[in-house]
């Protein structure tokens, strides 16, 4: 029971991170109908930006840890968003009217390029960061097994919740969100009605990359080790999460992320850690076969 509870906590933390990355996939897919393959890599860039900003803030600028964390948060969000914006501007926008596969290939190219850029600029070795936020609360102590909830896990979940709240507010209540939803439904019609489609798409990428940047920061602080390759698997899993929740559906992405995190944690805990990725993908296949629209997705009615 204690073991189960601990895995539940670990899984939810992991799932929160996946969910944040999955939002970026699902938003871009919703608007452009395209798999933004480079999104996982953008998340990796976010992790590096956070690591570097944090180290600069604490060692060079000599700020206290809480201030450094706030600085890192803004840097990770802002600069990662800038990377996402640039990727869209350079590699996807010129291909908007191109055949369907062209932006996908371009995105794969961006992903390969960014990965190797980071490997060259910062070295290919894994980068360790000693734990920044230590300690936590003990939830249950049965003598031989202690269920603990670390501060870091609390921060990750709280921040994910906060971001989700802000994000939901932006999408449902603001003019920007309305424009975004309009583009999702019918881009041509939206542009006829005076919505600047290019701007909406840019914003979509900026928001997605910003969220991925925060996810990158949290993963850096949580695991304390990153390398240039972390974007690939995390990207696939986040995409799996987006599909599982129903691609295009924002709450679905978050739900999918949590489910993937839980599946991964429980599978590693109770079955085998080597095959945890197999479990994730098998579930993806199973969901797509039995419920192709995902858990919360709208069925896509084909009209002739």
Partner 1 sequence: MEAKTARTLLVDALLGGLVAAAMALPMLGVRLEDSANGLSLSGRLDWVAWAVGIVAGGRLLIGLLRLLLAGRVPSPPAPPRAVMAYVGWAMVAFALVLPFLPFSGRNLVDKATLVLIYVMLGWGLNIVVGLAGLLDLGFVAFYAVGAYSYALLSQTFGLSFWVCLPLAGLLAATFGMILGFPVLRLRGDYIAIVTMGLGEIIRVVLQNWQDVTGGPNGISGIERPSLFGLSFKMVPPEGKQTFAEFFGLEYSADHRVIFLYFLILALALLTNLFTLRIRRLPVGRAWEALREDEIACRSLGINPTLVKLSAFATGAMFAGFAGSFFATRQGFISPESFTFIESAVILAIVVLGGMGSQIGIVLAALLLVGLPEWFRELQQFRMLAFGGAMVLIMLWKPSGLLSTREPTIRLKDTS
Site for partner 1 in 256-295 (CB under 8 A): 274-275, 277-278, 280-282, 284-285, 288-289, 292
The strand ranges marked E within the chain are 127-128, 136-141, 146-150, 225-226
Q: Which of residues 142-171 bind partner 1 (CB under 8 A)?
A: none
8 binds partner 1 (CB under 8 A): no
Instruction: Give me the least distance between CB of 48 and partner 1, in Å please.
Output: 7
The answer to the question of residue 239 lying near partner 1 (CB under 8 A) is yes
Q: Is 194 in the site for partner 1 (CB under 8 A)?
A: no
State yes or no: residue 222 binds partner 1 (CB under 8 A).
no
Are 46 and 215 spatial neighbours (Cβ–Cβ below 8 Å)? yes
# chain residues binding partner 1, by CB under 8 A? 72
Query: Do 289 and 273 meet the contact criterion of CB atoms below 8 Å apart?
Result: no
Find the shortest distance in angstroms from Cβ 19 to partner 1: 17
In angstroms, the CA 221 to CA 148 distance is: 17
Among 23, 32, 35, 255, binds partner 1 (CB under 8 A): 35
Structure tokens at 281: 């993908």
Helices 39-55 and 230-245, axial angle in degrees (round to 10): 130
Q: How far is the CB of 1 from partner 1 (least distance, A)?
A: 30
Taking the complex as a whole, how short is the minimal distance between the CB of residue 91 and partner 1, in angstroms? Answer: 5
Is residue 192 near partner 1 by the rule CB under 8 A? Answer: no
The DSSP output letter for 94 is G
40 or 177, CB closer to partner 1?
A: 40
Torsion of CA 165, 166, 171, 173, to 10 degrees: 90
- Is the CB of 10 or the CB of 227 nearer to partner 1? 227
Report if residue 202 touches partner 1, rule: CB under 8 A. Answer: no
174: left (phi over 0), alpha (psi -120 to 50) or beta: beta
């Amino acid at each position: 029971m204690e073991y189960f509870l601990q895995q539940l906590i670990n899984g939810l933390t992991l799932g929160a991170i996946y969910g944040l990355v999955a939002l970026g996939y699902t938003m871009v897919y919703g608007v452009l109908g395209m798999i933004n393959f480079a999104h996982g890599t953008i998340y990796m860039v976010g992790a590096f930006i956070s690591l570097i900003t944090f180290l600069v803030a604490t060692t060079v600028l000599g700020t206290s840890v809480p201030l450094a964390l706030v600085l890192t948060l803004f840097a990770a969000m802002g600069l990662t968003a800038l990377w996402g914006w640039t990727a869209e501007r350079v590699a996807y926008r010129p291909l908007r009217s191109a055949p369907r596969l062209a932006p996908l290939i371009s995105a794969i190219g961006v992903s390969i390029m960014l990965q190797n850029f980071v490997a060259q600029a910062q070295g290919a070795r894994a980068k360790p960061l000693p734990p920044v936020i230590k300690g936590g609360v003990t939830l249950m102590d049965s003598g031989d097994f202690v269920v603990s909830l670390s501060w870091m896990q609390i921060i990750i979940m709280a921040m994910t919740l906060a971001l989700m709240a802000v994000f939901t507010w932006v999408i449902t209540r603001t003019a920007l969100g309305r424009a975004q939803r309009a583009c999702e439904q019918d881009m041509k019609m939206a542009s006829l009605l005076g919505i600047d489609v290019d701007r909406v798409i840019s914003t979509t990428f900026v928001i997605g990359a910003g969220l991925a940047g925060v996810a990158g920061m949290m993963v850096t602080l949580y695991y304390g080790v990153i390398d240039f390759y972390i974007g690939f698997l995390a990207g696939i899993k986040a995409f799996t999460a987006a599909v599982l929740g129903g691609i295009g559906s924002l709450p679905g992405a978050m739900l999918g992320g949590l489910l993937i995190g839980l599946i991964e944690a429980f599978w590693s805990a109770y079955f085998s850690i080597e095959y945890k990725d197999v479990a994730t993908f098998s579930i993806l296949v199973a969901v797509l076969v039995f419920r192709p629209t995902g858990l919360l997705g709208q069925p896509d009615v084909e009209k002739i």
